[in-house]
């Protein structure tokens, strides 16, 4: 039977299809045997890599990276005392270098703050010179203390109640400055619309009494911390005083007793005088003295650090200068007495807690005077000042005042 075109001839049993005559089974066995023999020969006679010739004591581990090899290190060997000492010495030197760099950075930051403050002070000085004329900041007069009575546009009657009681007026005010080195001024800024009716009213009052210190500051109850900064900066630039005092316009003050109190601390470089307290941090929004940044003071219910109550306090010259120089970087909290305390808490300052600066109104101040502990300042804690001070200031002055001539007989070293 002939083959059809395109058909394949049939295979013979046991034949691979070539002339060799080898079976498919034997070909596979020979291939596997050759591979195994070659593998054994290569692994037996191939030389190990010389560690000395490896690149910088590094053994390659293929494409996945490398492992450092240090033949000189003996893991079981302990460092002797000298080696340990050398390591500790190097650590100590590194720490010293880091501390030196940190101090250098802090010094540069302070110099930058001083430069900014100096620039701002030059601008404010030009404004003060234009507004104050004869009280130019170029010629600071040496005085005992500057008292700034914080007041507001709406407090004309409060100011008058003070003028009629414990604050000297007219020629007596000038005499107090000349003979005792005591400067007393009502402290106020300007309204949100400078030159408006509120500012003109203060201008007229100043022309009559000559007892204001005008600040480059926009008035507002929530701006008291900023006003305090500006007051100390302005006062320190105008007068070279031993002390700078802040007092509210609803507080009664005995100037003679206050002068004697401060004179005992004149030789101290950095003092913060007042009735020290540590009240609770109020986190409830809407309450009086609410602290928006309450979380900074720790857990709910915590108290503030020690600081003087805001009705009246005094700081020495170095501290007022510090506030003036650094006022652009000092943080301001919602309450001005807390702000002042925070500015001073990290400094080498002597906190002087003098309770004669926070006596109550009659009969409290009367009893203390009779017991030989006369009061430098009196107010009602419940009102954060004398309750209804316009109506009661005269009565407090009559019952707790030291007498109009006391300030002239007080000794100031």
Spell out the per-residue pLDDT of the chain, length 413, in tens. Answer: 444 444 444 444 444 444 445 566 676 767 777 776 666 665 555 554 444 444 444 444 444 444 444 444 454 555 566 677 778 778 878 888 887 887 678 667 656 755 665 566 566 656 555 554 444 445 788 999 999 999 999 999 999 999 999 999 999 999 999 999 999 999 999 999 988 999 999 999 999 999 999 999 999 878 899 999 999 999 999 999 999 999 999 999 999 999 999 999 999 989 999 999 998 998 888 888 889 998 998 888 889 999 999 999 999 999 999 999 999 999 999 899 999 999 999 999 999 999 999 999 999 999 999 999 999 999 999 999 999 999 999 999 999 999 888 898 876 65
Q: Domain range holding 297?
A: 140-403
Q: Are residues 174 and 123 in the same domain?
A: no
Same domain, residue pair 92 and 234? no
Give domain status of residue 105, yes or no. Answer: yes
In a domain, 49, yes or no: no
The two three-digit tokens of residue 351, written as one number: 């906190």
Domain membership flag for residue 71: no
Whether residues 114 and 256 share a domain: the answer is no
Question: What would the DSSP string read from start to end of 154-167?
Answer: T-HHHHHHHHTTTS
Q: Which has the closest alpha carbon to 412: 306, 304, 264, 223? A: 264
Nearest by Cα to 357 from 304, 293, 402, 314: 314
- pLDDT tens digits, one per residue of 101-155: 876 786 676 567 556 655 665 666 565 555 544 444 457 889 999 999 999 999 9
**Same domain for 220 and 92:** no
Please state, in angstroms and rounded to a whole number, the distance separating the CA atoms of residues 134 and 19: 130
Note the pLDDT tens digit of each residue in 324-378.
Answer: 999 999 999 989 999 999 999 999 999 999 999 999 999 999 999 999 999 999 9
Is residue 170 domain-resident? yes
- C-alpha dihedral sign at 287, 273, 159, 166: positive
Beta bridge partners of 339: none
Statement to judge: residues 287 and 219 lie in one domain: yes
Residue 235 lies in a domain: yes
The closest of 257, 287, 269, 252 to 388, measured between CA atoms, is 252
Residue 144 and residue 133 share a domain: no
Q: Based on the structure, what is the number of domains in the chain?
A: 2
Residue 216 to residues 11, 126, 194, 223, 251, Cα–Cα distance (Å): 116, 11, 10, 13, 25
Q: What is the largest CA-CA distance in the chain?
A: 156
> Mind giving me the DSSP string for 189-204?
EE-SSTTSHHHHHHHH
Examine the domain organization and report whether 271 and 291 are in the same domain: yes
| 328 located within any domain | yes
Query: Domain boundary at 119, 137, 155, which?
Result: 137
From 116, 137, 158, the end of a domain falls on 137
Q: What is the pTM of this model?
A: 0.68
Residues 6+ positions from 201 with CB-CB distance below 8 Å: 153, 156
Tokens of 121: 């002070």
Residue 37 lies in a domain: no
For residue 68, being part of any structural domain is answered with no
Instruction: Give the residue among 205, 207, 202, 212 at the shortest CA–CA distance from 147.
Output: 212
Q: Do 131 and 144 reside in the same domain of the chain?
A: no
| 167 and 244 both lie in a single domain | yes
The pair of structure tokens assigned to 356 is 């004669």
Query: 114 and 229 in one domain?
Result: no
């Amino acid at each position: 039977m002939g083959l059809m075109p395109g058909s394949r001839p049939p295979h013979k049993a046991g034949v691979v299809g070539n002339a060799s005559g080898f079976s498919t089974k034997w070909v596979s066995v020979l291939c596997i045997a050759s591979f195994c023999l070659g593998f054994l020969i290569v692994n037996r006679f191939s030389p190990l890599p010389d560690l000395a010739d490896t690149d910088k004591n590094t053994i390659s581990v293929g494409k996945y990276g490398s492992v450092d090899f240090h033949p000189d290190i003996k893991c079981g060997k302990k460092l002797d005392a000298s080696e340990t000492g050398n390591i500790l010495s190097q650590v100590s030197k590194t720490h010293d270098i880091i501390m030196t760099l940190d101090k250098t950075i802090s010094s540069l930051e302070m110099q930058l703050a001083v430069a900014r403050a100096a620039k701002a002070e030059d601008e404010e000085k030009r404004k003060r010179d234009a507004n104050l004329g004869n009280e130019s900041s170029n010629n600071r007069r040496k005085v005992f203390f500057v008292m700034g009575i914080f007041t507001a546009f709406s407090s004309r009657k409060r100011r008058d109640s003070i003028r009629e009681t414990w604050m000297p007026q007219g020629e007596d005010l000038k005499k107090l400055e000349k003979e005792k080195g005591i400067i007393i001024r009502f402290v106020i800024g300007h309204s949100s619309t400078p030159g408006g009716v509120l500012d003109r009213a203060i201008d007229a009052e100043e022309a009559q009494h000559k007892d204001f210190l005008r600040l480059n500051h926009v008035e507002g109850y929530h701006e008291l911390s900023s006003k305090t900064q500006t007051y100390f900066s302005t006062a320190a630039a105008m007068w070279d005083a031993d002390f700078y005092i802040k007092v509210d316009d609803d507080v009664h003050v005995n100037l003679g007793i206050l002068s004697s109190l401060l004179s005992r601390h004149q030789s101290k470089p950095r003092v913060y005088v007042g009735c020290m307290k540590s009240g609770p941090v109020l986190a409830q929004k809407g309450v009086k003295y609410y602290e928006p940044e309450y979380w900074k003071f720790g857990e709910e219910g915590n108290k503030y650090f020690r600081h003087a109550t805001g009705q009246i306090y005094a700081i020495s010259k170095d501290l007022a200068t510090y506030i003036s120089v650094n006022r652009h970087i000092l943080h301001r909290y919602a309450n001005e007495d807390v702000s002042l305390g925070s500015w001073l808490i990290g400094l080498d300052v002597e906190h002087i807690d003098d309770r004669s600066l926070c006596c109550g109104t009659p009969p409290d101040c009367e009893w203390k005077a009779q017991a030989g502990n006369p009061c430098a300042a009196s107010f009602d804690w419940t009102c954060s000042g004398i309750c209804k001070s316009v109506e009661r200031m005269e009565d407090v002055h009559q019952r707790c005042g030291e007498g109009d001539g006391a300030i002239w007989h007080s000794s100031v070293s």
